[in-house]
């Protein structure tokens, strides 16, 4: 007898009318690492344009571009010097417009990255603010007097290591920086800052941008009492410990309200706001995606899962329930290890990563992959001496740098640097990269990850009508299997050995992440590390 382990998640009121971003799949392009056309070893927008057919042929619905604004590059674009322009080394505004038009012509939307929590220290606002305590843009940033001993105002740590405060000799005050000292934090309690970003959103929406991924969306406001962070229990789970360590300036309960005015602006352009809300509690993340705030938010604890059925199940079940179809499910990103590495690396990690994407891609919400996930890439292996990430280069004791997931895209084994650039890339390709990782080789292999990803996205598109409900019932089909039913579709992910599962009705196999899946009547034969989507053909 088949029983649900949890009550079905409550479905939200249906969208009226449905928007373009419902039932979509996203594709993240870390532009610096996608393709170089200028011969400087750094990817650029013309490089994305050169491969726009590859993106469209995948079957994704929107592309999210990492920052391409003018920047001194201390954090590779996340230190923005001008929010209203495109960097020359990225191709300038003309390249942006050409890429926008090319994507739109292929039915693919374009999202840009917006970085509202901080600017570059070279931004005109901060250059003005440093001129003195009465400078015109002084109150755009967070300034505090020193503690009685002359040190920082409190014990807050920077995410990138060291104190979250930098002393300014000229004015005798500290300014706050959640990340690098070269990234001074904006003061979102100042209405003038909010007005400035309203104008920035409109500037890009008027130029045809279809939405924004909001960087560190939970990190806009700081504790107004500037309270020290208490000592952290070393036995806390890592995600919970991080929430507490940075709680002085991350996840403040009043932060979600900031997005209500953004939502009104975005809706007037039928644009998407996709938040990077880096918090571990799905109930808290869900407060950012109410009807009048962000449209979607990433559920980022997924990027810290191992290949463990119970761990994945625990994180997904509550998230699916509270999100009501509004979470984005990340496969990988530029900030965390790729799924292939998290799940064991090599062929095993590649197989598991494909199974994982088939699983989350069938959930209510928005699956998003990082460029290279369609090739089954794990992290590129980069020696510490070649590191570029400031987490690594500025902290001798930290090994959690992000370079591995940012290594350049491998296109063609017969071209220099696997087709990424004619010159040495800004970041090594990775000592583990080979011909089988490239787009060209995988194009010629119908069993490659590239073709499996295309088949899955095509099948998913064909099932959208059956998956239109946000109601999910979790099924008990075996101890090593995470299974759910959504409408007439059963999704089963096998974390263990090959097995046979008893389906709740006669079905047909719609698509699977490997060849080790077959349906005969009510029997699903499912291989190890494999996810299958089965359409039920009669009532169960």
**Residues in a beta bridge with 329:** 367
Cβ atoms 327, 470 nearer than 8 A: no
Give 146's contacts (C-beta < 8 A, 6+ positions apart). 152, 153, 167, 172, 173, 174
Question: Which position among 166, 182, 215, 379 bears the catalytic label?
Answer: 215
User: Among the options 22, 276, 373, 529, which is catalytic?
Assistant: 276
Tell me whether strands 109-114 and 62-65 are parallel, antiparallel or unpaired.
Answer: parallel
DSSP states of 334-403: TTB--HHHHTTSHHHHHHHHHHHHHHHTTSSSEEEEETTGGGT-------GGG---HHHHT-TT----SG
In whole angstroms, what separates CA 438 from the centre of its chain? 23
Q: Is 228 tagged catalytic?
A: no
Query: Which contacts of 383-389 are long-range, i.e. CB under 8 A and separated by 24 or more positions?
Result: 383/428, 383/431, 386/427, 386/428, 388/76, 388/426, 388/427
Residue 410 near residue 433 (C-beta atoms within 8 A): yes
3-state secondary structure of 451: helix
Per the CB < 8 A criterion, the answer to whether 81 and 68 are in contact is no
Residue 141 three-state SS: strand
SS (H, E, C) 45-106: HHHHHHCHHHHHHHCCCEEEECCCCCCCCCCCCCCCCCCCCCCHHHCHHHHHHHHHHHHHHC
Contact 215, 113 (CB under 8 A): yes
Helix (H) or strand (E) holding 532: strand 530-536
Burial class (CB in 10 A: 0-12, 13-18, 19+), 354: buried
- Which residue has tokens 């419902």? 22
Residue 31 CA neighbour count, 13 Å, CB half: 28
The reply to whether 276 belongs to the active site is yes
Active site residues: 215, 276
């Amino acid at each position: 007898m088949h029983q649900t382990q949890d009550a079905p998640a409550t479905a939200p009121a249906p969208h009226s009318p449905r928007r373009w971003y419902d039932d979509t799949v996203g594709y993240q392009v870390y532009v610096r690492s996608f393709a170089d056309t200028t011969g400087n070893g750094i990817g650029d927008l013309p490089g994305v344009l050169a491969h726009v057919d590859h993106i469209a042929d995948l079957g994704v619905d929107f592309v999210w571009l990492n920052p391409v604004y003018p920047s001194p590059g201390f954090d590779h674009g996340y230190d923005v010097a001008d929010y209203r322009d495109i960097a020359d080394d990225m191709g300038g505004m003309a390249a942006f417009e050409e890429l926008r038009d090319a994507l739109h012509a292929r039915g693919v939307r374009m999202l840009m990255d917006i970085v509202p929590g901080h600017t570059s220290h070279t931004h005109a606002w901060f250059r003005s603010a440093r001129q003195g305590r009465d400078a015109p843009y002084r109150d755009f940033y967070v300034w505090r007097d020193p503690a009685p001993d002359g040190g920082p105002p409190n014990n807050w740590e920077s995410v990138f290591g060291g104190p979250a405060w930098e002393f300014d000799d000229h004015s005798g005050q500290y300014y706050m920086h959640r990340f690098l000292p070269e990234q001074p934090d904006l003061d979102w309690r100042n209405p003038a800052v909010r007005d400035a970003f309203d104008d920035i959103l409109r500037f890009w929406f008027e130029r045809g941008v279809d939405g924004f991924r909001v960087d560190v969306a939970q990190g806009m406001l700081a504790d107004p009492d500037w309270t020290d962070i208490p000592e952290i229990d070393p036995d806390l789970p890592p995600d919970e410990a991080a929430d507490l360590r940075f709680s002085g300036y991350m996840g403040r309960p009043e932060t979600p309200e900031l997005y209500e005015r953004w939502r009104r602006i975005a809706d007037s352009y039928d644009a998407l706001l996709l938040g990077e809300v880096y918090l571990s509690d799905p109930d808290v993340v869900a407060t950012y995606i109410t009807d009048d705030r962000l449209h979607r938010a990433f559920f980022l604890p997924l990027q810290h899962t191992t290949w463990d059925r119970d761990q994945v199940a625990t994180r997904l079940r509550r998230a699916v329930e509270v999100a009501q179809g509004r979470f984005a499910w990340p496969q990988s990103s530029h900030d965390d290890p790729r799924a292939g590495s998290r799940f064991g690396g090599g062929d095993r990690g590649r197989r598991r990563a494909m199974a994982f994407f088939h699983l989350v891609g069938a959930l209510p919400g928005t699956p998003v992959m990082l460029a290279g996930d369609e090739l089954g890439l794990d992290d590129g292996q980069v020696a510490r001496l070649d590191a570029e990430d400031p987490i690594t280069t500025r902290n001798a004791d930290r090994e959690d740098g992000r370079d591995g997931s940012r290594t350049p895209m491998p296109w063609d084994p017969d071209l220099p640097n696997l087709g990424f650039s004619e010159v040495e890339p800004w970041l090594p390709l990775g000592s583990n990269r080979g011909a089988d990782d490239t787009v060209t080789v995988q194009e010629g292999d119908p069993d490659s990850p590239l073709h499996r990803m295309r088949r899955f996205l095509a099948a998913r598109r064909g099932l959208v009508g059956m998956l239109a409900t946000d109601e999910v019932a979790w099924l008990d089909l075996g101890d090593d299997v995470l299974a759910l039913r959504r409408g007439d579709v059963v999704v089963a992910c096998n974390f263990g050995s090959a097995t046979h599962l008893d389906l709740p009705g006669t079905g047909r196999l719609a698509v699977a992440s490997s060849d080790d899946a077959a349906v005969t009547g009510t029997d699903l034969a499912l291989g190890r590390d494999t996810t299958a989507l089965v359409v039920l053909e009669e009532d169960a």
